[in-house]
Structure 1
Amino acid sequence: MAYAPKAAFIALDFGLKALFATSEGDLLGRGVYDALIRYDQRLTTLARHIQRSGGKPRDSECYRRLVTTIRGFIKAEVNRVLNRIISLRRPKHLVLERLRFRSPGLSARLNRILQNCGRGVIIAKLTALEEELGVTSEEVNPAYSSQQCNCCGYVDSRNRTEQARFRCRWCGARMSADVNAGRNVGERRSSPETTPVGRTKSAALAELVCRFNERWPRARTLPPDPGRKGQRGLPADPRWTNPYFRDWASAARLALGSASDLGNLPTTPALVAVGLNARVPIDRVGTVEGHPQTGSELVAGGPR
């Protein structure tokens, strides 16, 4: 029976806690990492024993057999999980992040094995899927896909509260970190930061920060000040303490300084937000609830 696609595309985020997370919320291959840890322990113990005996691991038949077993396990799991995705979602096209096979929880020895064979196994399987079923694939730039919120676009290293969990410090969205990254991968198909070659991480980050600031130019609260009590009503704007938004924070503080030169800023616990709209002249003066307003557009309430 001919393969009949049901979805235009499915995005995949590669990991080891879950081998692949899809943009539809599937977490597949969740037992792979635990199995790799057990293999890692065996590999490390065997290599140490061989070295203590004055030999080299690569010269040991037993060691080479174990490495072959690990490579066979990786190949079998990759094929199994990708076959499951094809069977479950029936996509016409697969979108993957640019794959890097490393895990800080595994030894350098096992990470080398993963790097040497993992990418080749996946490429071979994707080639077979295209030849046999017509399922095409592409890679996109994975830069900051694990730190960017798929709901609002805010990027912050602190969004990853745990390895497996994601909680956005801007909008509060909570989800699996792998699923969030998978959805970001899917949305980068037609974005400028998706080009895997020639697009550096810093350039991708600048694009993500610029996009977010265009959507939310105004701060939700005044910058943190140890001498001022907390502001009630809105959560603190995380950009003030996010190094990715250092330029925005500097411009916002400058705008606040310009506003304070014209009069005292509110001392009540009322919320104040500062907007950084370059199209508004800095010398434009008005009032909001009796307080001075400049091009920084101090307003009561949140971003609008």
Structure 2
Amino acid sequence: MLIGMKQVVQVRLLPTPEQASALLVTLRACNAAASWLAGRMHAAGEFRKFDVQKRFYTELRERFGLAAQPAIRVIGKTTDAYTALRGNLTAGNYGPPGSTRRRKVVDTPIVFRPDAAQPFDARCLSWQLGDSGREGTVSVWSTAGRLRNVRIMGHPGHLALLRSGQIRETDLICRDGVWVLHAVVDRPGAPQREPVNGFLGIDMGIVNLATTSDGDRMSGARLNRYRRRQQRLRKRLQAKKTSSARRLLKKRRRKENRFAADVNHQISKRIVAEAERTGRGIAVEQLTGIRDRVRLRKPQRATLSSWAFAQLGRFLAYKAEQAGLAFVQVDPAYTSQRCSDCGVIDKKNRRSQASYVCGRCGFVGHADHNAARNIATRGVAGWGEVMRPHAAPTLAAGQGGSSKPVGTPGT
């Protein structure tokens, strides 16, 4: 079975000074229009795209000089922003009902930065990529008219993907004076293979970024040392309060995120290659709400907040899909307390961060390895439920030797 998938491709835009000036004016006009529309939507209490388009489309075009399709994209961008805001409110990400922070978010209309990304579709932006190479051109709408033959440059593999797939929405972004395009491409996935040899369980953490059910541990010591060093450098530069210090801080911005993303890419490639080699699927724990489940001391909170838990999960998901591997997420509750040999659940079994000793069967092992084995077991059960969608879910946190209710976090 072939499963289609979407992939985001980044390419560099190389406009002339005149083209860059027109693009900047366009970006600011679109974001000014989006901020104005967000205020009107908030005041009117209308957030459905159809209703907003019917009520504000004409005025939006006349006020900001937008063409028809860019105006539609501005409306879509603004309604999507309010949809995301409502989702965050429902999830409690802005505090409980009645809290000061939540009231402020609800009472204030959304405002877009002047240089925020602007989405374009095929009517606003078209590609001329040729047959091969690292370069090409695009034609893009602007408030000054159509800009043709704007040069682009990218990785040969990324441009080959743009040539072979169907290009959907493209975001125009200006970041620190550098113009880039983020294009969403529809591409066929690899034929999905059945996990004939079960699942490779992955336990994620801070000390060990990832531990597999085979016992392979990817240590986080190097990344944590790098982050501590970056934190010391930032603190030192912030204390100086000089122009040169501010320039250095701006230059170093996002450097730590790029380093962490590179580490996550290396780890995810290694895990997917092992699962592909052994004919297994990949099972990971659900990371939604991990900051609410885990209780940490104050010095550890910054580490938890800065580590990209979800990013590693996303990298594993799309790389598994590219390779045609089964990928499931399982309930993480009790995975670090449950014995992977006999199934008993007891928080006393986890003697320390690294040590797990079962008080019933005597199993001794690394705590993260034990949790990964439990995740692998739940992956098999979870895949069975995915392949039988008509059946009632039976996967429970206490499966395999306990009837304790789900709810208490084990990781």
TM-score with structure 2 length normalisation?
A: 0.40
Aligned counterpart, 2:307: 114
Q: How far apart, in 2, do the equivalents of 1:8 and 1:57 lie?
A: 52
Aligned counterpart, 1:50: 237
Q: What is the correspondence of 1:149-228 to structure 2 with a 5 Å cutoff?
A: 149-189=339-379, 190=381, 204=397, 209-210=402-403
Deviation of residue 178 (structure 1)?
A: 1.5
Indicate which of 310, 314, 329 corresponds to 1:123: 314
Q: What is the correspondence of 1:232-271 to structure 2 with a 5 Å cutoff?
A: none
Q: How far apart, in 2, do the equivalents of 1:122 and 1:15 lie?
A: 12
Aligned counterpart, 2:268: 79
Q: Aligned pair 1:38/2:225, yes or no?
A: yes
Tell me whether 6-15 or 58-67 shows the greater mean CA deviation. Answer: 58-67
Aligned counterpart, 1:21: 211
Deviations 1:53-92 (A, max 9, x none): 248989922431532443333333333332342354231x
Q: How far apart, in 1, do the equivalents of 2:360 and 2:240 lie?
A: 56
Contiguous gaps of at least 5 residues in structure 1: 213-304
Say if 1:6 and 1:89, in contact at 8 Å, map to a contact too: no
Deviation of residue 142 (structure 1)?
A: 0.5
Which letter does structure 2 place at the counterpart of 1:177?
A
Secondary structure at the aligned position of 2:329 is classed as: strand
Which letter does structure 2 place at the counterpart of 1:187?
T
Say if 1:40 and 1:107, in contact at 8 Å, map to a contact too: no
Say if 2:268 and 2:315, in contact at 8 Å, map to a contact too: no
Q: How far apart, in 2, do the equivalents of 1:85 and 1:103 lie?
A: 33
Q: How far apart, in 2, do the equivalents of 1:79 and 1:103 lie?
A: 27
Q: How far apart, in 2, do the equivalents of 1:20 and 1:88 lie?
A: 18
Secondary structure at the aligned position of 1:21 is classed as: strand
Distance 1:179 1:71, change over 3 A: closer
Distance 1:206 1:126, change over 3 A: closer
Say if 1:98 and 1:140, in contact at 8 Å, map to a contact too: yes
Q: How far apart, in 2, do the equivalents of 1:166 and 1:65 lie?
A: 37
Number of aligned residues: 197
Which letter does structure 1 place at the counterpart of 2:314?
I
Which letter does structure 2 place at the counterpart of 1:111?
L
CA RMSD of aligned residues (A): 4.0
Tell me whether 149-158 or 72-81 shows the greater mean CA deviation. Answer: 72-81
Aligned counterpart, 2:286: 98
Deviation of residue 137 (structure 1)?
A: 0.7
Q: How far apart, in 1, do the equivalents of 2:301 and 2:259 lie?
A: 15
Deviation of residue 146 (structure 1)?
A: 0.2
Say if 1:29 and 1:81, in contact at 8 Å, map to a contact too: no
Secondary structure at the aligned position of 2:320 is classed as: helix
Q: How far apart, in 2, do the equivalents of 1:3 and 1:72 lie?
A: 26
Q: How far apart, in 2, do the equivalents of 1:211 and 1:109 lie?
A: 32
Which letter does structure 2 place at the counterpart of 1:123?
R
Which letter does structure 2 place at the counterpart of 1:179?
H
Deviation of residue 8 (structure 1)?
A: 3.4
Distance 1:128 1:205, change over 3 A: closer
**Moved beyond 3 Å, runs of 4+:** 1-6, 16-19, 54-59, 100-111, 203-209
Q: How far apart, in 2, do the equivalents of 1:43 and 1:208 lie?
A: 45
Say if 1:160 and 1:177, in contact at 8 Å, map to a contact too: yes
Which structure shows the higher strand fraction?
2
Deviation of residue 209 (structure 1)?
A: 4.4
Deviations 1:88-121 (A, max 9, x none): 4231x22111134889697544433323xx4134
Say if 1:12 and 1:22, in contact at 8 Å, map to a contact too: yes
